[in-house]
Amino acid sequence: MKEGYVAEDLRQEVSPEDMEKINQYTRRPYEPEEVYVFSMVLCDNRVDRDGERFPIASLEKLRELFLGKTCIFEHDRANGNQAARIFDTALMEDPEELSEGGEPLTQLTARAYLPRTKGNEETIARIDSGMLKEVSVSCAVARRVCSLCGKEDCEHLPGEDIGGEIVHQLLLEPTDAYECSFVAVPAQKGAGVTKRYGQGPGRGLRRLEEEARWGRKYRESLTAQVLKYSALVQPELPREVMKSAVKGLSMGELRAMGRTYERMAQKALPLRPQLSGGKDVTEPSVGNRAYKI
């Protein structure tokens, strides 16, 4: 939940304290009239569209990690895609509203700057006009656990209602913050939608097509895993019925369902190769998991 939006108070006064923070990242001292400053809500502690949530403790760590990070477009980390740099961060709490975890609603906010140059005139105009508004953050966390049982690997599915509590995943112990991006469709429900302009066909389009192709392959592999294990656990259930049932599931739901059916199948017959050394071979280890929020 990994996104937010550009705040409405776009034309901000730039104080001497702001300039002191900004000039930590410049090669020469800049004056207030040389920079454009705007505010953003990067993310909060509500459950996002992927069924994941940052607790306040994770937001506290991200507040430190996002200092000095760049703002780019659509998570494309090419050098020429940098739009601005974050120079200040803070947490804003609304004690009158609670997140799904029972914590006070808390937003991770940031202030960013970009130089007032001819090349940045269009970006500034698009921010001022609201055309660039929604943002998404990319970061890594050490652990992702179930909100219900606190385990990293369990049978509870995100979105499942158990005793009136909606299951979701908690993103814990952030280890790195990579960047924030202006995006078209962020993951968090309250982020809204940005109209994305200015990138025509070519490298960006090819990159998106490549990501979509690998996304489809990953979904196909998850679906195949669910169908394989469900056939072992529920052989009486027609395959076409299960294929129809999983079509509307998200990637996270498919992954959780595959793990659940695998565990159920393992109770019925051994599935792990003798030479696996006890390691789960259905999902490779990737170290700290990255999230584009």
pLDDT 10s digits, 192-211: 222 222 333 344 444 445 54
Q: Quick one: average pLDDT of 69-73?
A: 87
Q: Quick one: average pLDDT of 221-225?
A: 82
- Break the chain into its structural domains and give their ranges: 3-199, 206-276
Rounded-to-10 torsion of CA 262, 175, 2, 82: -130
**What CA–CA distances, in Å, run from 201 to 207, 208, 209?**
10, 10, 11
Selected residue with higher pLDDT from 152 and 81 = 152
**Cβ neighbours, 10 Å, residue 157:** 19
Cα separation, 273 vs 230, whole angstroms: 19
Q: Hey, what are 224's tokens?
A: 């195949």
Cα separation, 105 vs 95, whole angstroms: 7
Q: In the predicted model, what is the mean pLDDT of the chain?
A: 78
Selected residue with higher pLDDT from 17 and 191 = 17
Cα separation, 290 vs 52, whole angstroms: 13
Alpha helix segments (H runs only) across the chain:
16-22, 56-65, 121-128, 203-233, 239-246, 251-268
Going by C-beta distance under 8 Å and a sequence separation of 6 or more, which residues neighbour residue 88? 18, 21, 67, 110, 111
Cα separation, 142 vs 176, whole angstroms: 9
Q: Is pTM beyond 0.75 here?
A: no
pLDDT computed for residue 80 by the predictor = 61
pLDDT computed for residue 293 by the predictor = 56
Going by C-beta distance under 8 Å and a sequence separation of 6 or more, which residues neighbour residue 290? 138, 139, 140, 178
Q: Quick one: average pLDDT of 168-185?
A: 87
